[in-house]
Chain A
C-alpha cells in the first residue's frame, strides 16, 4: 500500500488526517488509529471539533424524508419493549409498544390483554382492579385510544395508540353520560399514557355505558368549557 508514503510525503498530509477522519474517508485500520490518537490528545480533539463544527454548516443540505410510521414503534420496542413485557401488569400497562401493536380491533384485544394480564403472577402491589375498558375511535379519524378504569384508584388510564393533534391544538377528553352535556376531563396527550381522575362531577353517573369522547380543541383545551372541535374518537365503557 502506498498510503503511508502518501501521508508522509504530501505536504500537510498529516494535518489533513483529522479532516479525513471527520469526513469518514479513512479505512477502518486508519480510522481506529486516528481515533485512538484523538482520544489521547486534547489538541487533536480541538482539531476534530473544528472540522466537525465547520462541516456541520452543510447539515442543512440533508433533506427531510419522513420515516415510515412503524419505525418509531420498532425503535421503542428495541429500547423498552422486552424489559417491560416482563414486568407483570404494571409492566404491561407501561408497555406502550404492546398497546400500539394491539391497535387493530382495539376493544376486543384490550379486553383480552387485560384478561391475560390479570392471570399473570403479580409480584407487586400495583395490580389493577380494572373494571371498565373502552376503545376510543371514530370513522375517518386515525385517533385511537384505549381506556381502562381502575376502581381502586378511581382513575381512567388512557393510552394513545395512534393520531396526533396538529400544531396549536390539543386533544380534550369528555365524559358523556345519558342525555347530559359532556363534562370535560381535561386535555390529554397523544401517543402516550395519560392518567385521568374521574372527578366528582363525573363520578355519580360513571359506569358501564358511560361514553368517553375526544375532541380536537385549541391548544390548552376548549375555551368555553364545552366541546368546540370535532369528535376524533369515542367509545363506551364496557365491564370486563
Chain B
C-alpha cells in the first residue's frame, strides 16, 4: 500500500513535468478507481465515461498542484474526480441567493497535513460515524460517497428537507468534535 502510494506520487510528479508516458501509466494505475468514483456519483454510464476523460484532463493540467506528504496521492486523485462530478450535479440543481453571512470558524483548526492517512484514521472516522444515529451517519456517507443533495437525502430518509439540513449540520459538528477531540 505504501509502495503503491509512493509510486503514484512519483507518477503525478512526472505528469506535472509533462511526461506523457507517466500520464499513461497513471491512467492505467488509477482509472478503475476514478471510474468507480464517477460512476457511483453520476449513476449513468455514459456520463461517467465522459466525466472520467474530463477528470484525467484536469489531472494533466493540475498535477503541479499536488503536494506530496499531505493527503495520499489516491485521495488527491479521488478528490479531483469527486469534485468534478459534484460540479456537474450542482450545475443542474436550483440555486438560492448568495449568502451574506461571513463564516466563523473556531480559532484553531488542527492542521492534518503532517499526518498521513493510515488504518487508525480510517478506523477513527468509522468510530465517530458510529457515534451518530445510524440514519444520520448514512446521510453523511451518502453525501460523500454518492454525492446526494439535501433534497435527495431528505427523500431517501423520508424527512422534510429542512429537517435533513438540521440533522446533518448537527451531525457534522458532532463528527468534528469527535474527530478532533
**Chain B proximity of A78: nearest CB distance (Å):** 6
Judge whether B53 and A27 touch: CB under 8 Å. Answer: no
Give B148-176 interface residues, CB cut-off 8 Å to A.
Answer: 149-150, 162, 165-166, 168-170, 172-173, 175-176
Residue of A nearest to B78 (CB): A59
Q: Give chain B's interface residues, CB within 8 Å of chain A.
A: 20-21, 23-24, 27-28, 31-37, 39-40, 49, 52-53, 56-57, 60, 70-72, 74-75, 78-79, 82-83, 86, 89-91, 93-107, 109-113, 115, 117, 121-122, 124-126, 140-141, 143-145, 147, 149-150, 162, 165-166, 168-170, 172-173, 175-176, 179-180
Q: Looking at chain A's contact residues, is the secondary structure mostly helix, strand, loop, or mixed? A: helix
A147, chain B: closest CB distance, angstroms? 18
| Residues of A contacting B101 in the complex (Cβ-Cβ under 8 angstroms) | 4, 7-8, 14
Please indicate the chain B residues that have their CB under 8 angstroms from the CB of A14 in the complex: 101, 103-105
Residues on the A chain within 8 Å of B113, using CB:
49, 53
* Bound-state Cα–Cα, A61 to B33, Å: 10
Pair A6/B165 contact, Cβ less than 8 Å = yes
Closest chain A residue, CB of each to CB of B72: A56
Q: Is the CB of A25 within 8 A of B79?
A: no
* Distance A12 CA – B107 CA, assembled complex (angstroms): 14
B55 closest partner in A (C-beta): A75
The stretch among A62-70, A101-109, A173-181, A220-228 that forms the contact with chain B is A62-70
Cβ A52 vs Cβ B71 within 8 A: yes
B60 and A65 within 8 A (CB): no
Cross-chain contact A79 with B57 (CB below 8 angstroms):
yes
Q: With a CB–CB cut-off of 8 A, which chain A residues contact B147?
A: 24
Residue of A16, A58, A66 touching B145 (CB-CB under 8 A): A58
Please determine whether A17 and B33 come into contact, CB atoms closer than 8 angstroms: no
Q: How far is the CA of A229 from the CA of B40 in the complex (A)?
A: 40
Q: Which of A46, A55, A64, A72 contacts B125 (CB 8 A)?
A: A55
Which 3 A-B pairs give the minimum distances between C-beta atoms?
Answer: A24-B86, A53-B112, A56-B75
How far is it, in angstroms, between the C-alpha of A47 and the C-alpha of B111 when the chains are bound? 8
Q: B110: which A residues are within 8 A, CB to CB?
A: 50
A54 in contact with B125 given A6-B166, A15-B173 (CB within 8 Å)? yes
Known: A13-B169, A16-B169, A55-B144. A44 touches B37 (CB 8 A): no
Complex CA gap A41/B144 in Å reads 24
Establish whether residues A58 and B125, one from each chain, have CB atoms under 8 Å apart when the complex forms. yes
Whole-angstrom distance between the Cβ of A25 and the nearest chain B Cβ: 6
* In contact, B99 and A44 (Cβ under 8 angstroms): no
Query: Which residues of chain B are near A74, meaning CB under 8 Å?
Result: 53
Would A1 and B56 be within 8 Å (CB), given that A23-B143, A24-B90, A72-B31 are in contact?
Answer: no
Residue from the list B52, B53, B107, B169 in contact with A10, Cβ < 8 A: B169
Whether the pair B36, A64 counts as a contact (CB closer than 8 A) is: yes
**Which residues of the partner chain A approach B143 to less than 8 Å between Cβ atoms?**
23-25
**Residues of chain A within 8 A of B21, CB atoms compared:** 189, 192
Flag if A1 contacts B90 (CB, 8 Å). no
Q: Give every chain B residue within 8 A of A17 (Cβ-Cβ).
A: 103
Chain B: which residue is nearest A21 at the CB level?
A: B103
Q: Which residues of B contact A34 (CB under 8 A)?
A: 99, 103
19 new A-B pairs (CB below 8 Å) besides A6-B162, A41-B105? A14-B101, A15-B106, A17-B103, A20-B168, A28-B91, A29-B95, A30-B98, A49-B111, A49-B112, A50-B176, A53-B121, A54-B124, A56-B72, A65-B32, A65-B36, A67-B49, A72-B28, A74-B53, A75-B57
A33 within 8 A of B: yes
Contact with B along A144-179 (1 / 0, CB 8 A): 000000000000000000001000000000000000
> In chain A between 64 and 102, which residues have their CB closer than 8 angstroms to a CB of chain B?
64-68, 71-72, 74-76, 78-80, 96
